Amino acid sequence: MKEALLWEEKPHQAVRCLACHHFCQIAPGRTGVCGVRQNQNGRLYSLVYARAAALGIDPVEKKPLFHFLPGSLAFSFGTLGCNFSCLNCQNWEISQISNQKGRVENYSHLFWGEKLTPPQIINLAHQNQCLSIAYTYNEPTVFLEYALATMKLARRAGLKNIWVSNGFMSSKTLDLILPYLDAVNIDIKSSEENFYQKICGAKLAPVLKNCQRLVKEGVWLEITTLVIPTLNDKITILNNIASFIKEKLGDAFPWHLSAFSPAISWKLKDLPATPPSIIKKARQEALKKGLKYVYAGNLGPSSDDNTLCPVCGQLVVERQGYTVKRFDQNGHCPKCGATIPGRWA
């Protein structure tokens, strides 16, 4: 257990957590929405510091990041807890801890994860030939203290830092992590506030604002949208997301359109899997709008996973699933020499 960063005192020994846009006011003995930040006698503590509930040595393409150190491995970890409660969550066994068994504070016997300190993470990353650390599987904002301590060590050890995030962190959290953050994949789940409120228990506006700040601060950004039948699969919604990326972020930032699968979803099990035709149509429309890099995910290996030069159409990065077959380490088109945006080496 570690005292949390970013909180303030409130009357009657309550505290307000300032890590994400929920800004939870928390009474003594209780946790915030994420279930892993607890008020103990008027001070806020992280219950998951140095407790990894999920670990993996993943291709960076799996985050997904397609224009960031292609073909490299990311040492990936996450903890329990999340500040969203997405009905479609695929990692719900670790993320939805406070929604599975009632309030966390009533479950002192709960498995909090394996003890894994930040220096141990750096060692494991090196031992496994990883070029980066990915803070992933659940929302890294809820384990900010653990992530930040690891990010600082990673930077010193020559490893890159990647957040896979819902983008709902506060501006104070961004202030803390930006000096150490190299790349981020943010979910834009819908263009409608209603979706965020009903399906995720959150809000859209802060996510969009944070995406713009990340771009302004020079962090490499890729966007993911999981397309869920009947909930966010209208072409107008997907077109709105494409327009936001193009107009507010820039046409160079990749967009990953991903297919929903009810088999691995927390709830929504009665919905069908996303028909590939919807993803393909949204991809075509986004390319027509002027987005340069739009990828289709969870549909099996396809030529839509490849990166083509937007100037001459030449194949620049060839992928098969998460495997990179070939790419130019300088990020240039081998035919016309155009620069492909990203961090290539």
**Residue 151, exposed/middle/buried by CB under 10 A (0-12, 13-18, 19+)?**
buried
Per CB under 6 A, 140 contacts ligand SF4: no
Q: How far is the CB of 99 from ligand SF4 (least distance, A)?
A: 12
Q: Of 17 and 54, which has the nearer Cβ to ligand SF4?
A: 17
Token pair recorded at residue 202: 């959150």
Tokens of 158: 């020559």
* Torsions phi, psi for 51 (to 5 deg): -125, 100
Q: How many residues contact ligand SF4, by CB under 6 A?
A: 13
| 24 binds ligand SF4 per the rule CB under 6 A | yes
Does position 33 interact with ligand SF4 (CB under 6 A)? The reply is yes
C-alpha–C-alpha distance, residues 219 and 215, integer Å: 6
Helix (H) or strand (E) holding 240: helix 235-244
Q: Which of 89, 104, 142, 299 binds ligand SF4 (CB under 6 A)?
A: 142
Which of these, 315, 270, 269, 273, lies nearest to 297 by C-alpha position? 273
Distance in angstroms (rounded) separating the CA atoms of residues 193 and 210: 15
Cα 277 to the center of its chain, rounded Å: 25
Closer to ligand SF4 by Cβ: residue 20 or 153: 20
Q: Select the residue interacting with ligand SF4 from 46, 76, 83, 224 (CB under 6 A).
A: 83
Rounded distance, CA 138 to CA 63, Å?
12
Using the Cα atoms of residue 324, residue 326, residue 328 and residue 332 in order, give the sign of their dihedral.
negative
- Strand ranges, E, within 136-272: 160-165, 183-187, 220-227, 255-259
Nearest distance in Å: CB 85, ligand SF4: 10
Spatial distance between the Cα atoms of 229 and 11, rounded to a whole number of angstroms: 45
Nearest position to ligand SF4, beta carbon: 32
Q: Which is nearer to ligand SF4, 33 or 104 (CB)?
A: 33
Nearer to ligand SF4, 37 or 283 (CB): 37
Minimum Å distance from CB 32 to ligand SF4? 2
Among 15, 22, 50, 299, binds ligand SF4 (CB under 6 A): 22
The piece of 16-24, 111-119, 122-130, 210-218 that touches ligand SF4 (CB under 6 A) is 16-24
Asked whether position 34 contacts ligand SF4 by CB under 6 A, the answer is yes
Task: Tell me which stretch binds ligand SF4 (CB under 6 A): 13-21, 87-95, 148-156, 322-330.
Answer: 13-21
Calpha distance 49→329 (Å, rounded): 37
Closest CA to 43 of 1, 83, 84: 1
5, 13, 14, 23: which one contacts ligand SF4 (CB under 6 A)? 23
Q: Which of 19, 148, 181, 291 is the binder for ligand SF4 (CB under 6 A)? A: 19
- Would you tell me the crossing angle of helices 118-127 and 144-156 to the nearest 10 degrees? 50
Which residue, 15 or 286, is less far from ligand SF4 as judged by CB?
A: 15
Under the binding rule (CB under 6 A), the answer on residue 86 touching ligand SF4 is no
Give the separation between CA 203 and CA 194, rounded to whole angstroms. Answer: 8
Of residues 22 and 283, the one with the C-beta less far from ligand SF4: 22
**Piece of the chain touching ligand SF4 by CB under 6 A; list 18-26, 67-75, 221-229, 241-249:** 18-26
- Give the footprint of ligand SF4 on this chain (CB under 6 A): 17, 19-20, 22-24, 32-34, 37, 83, 141-142
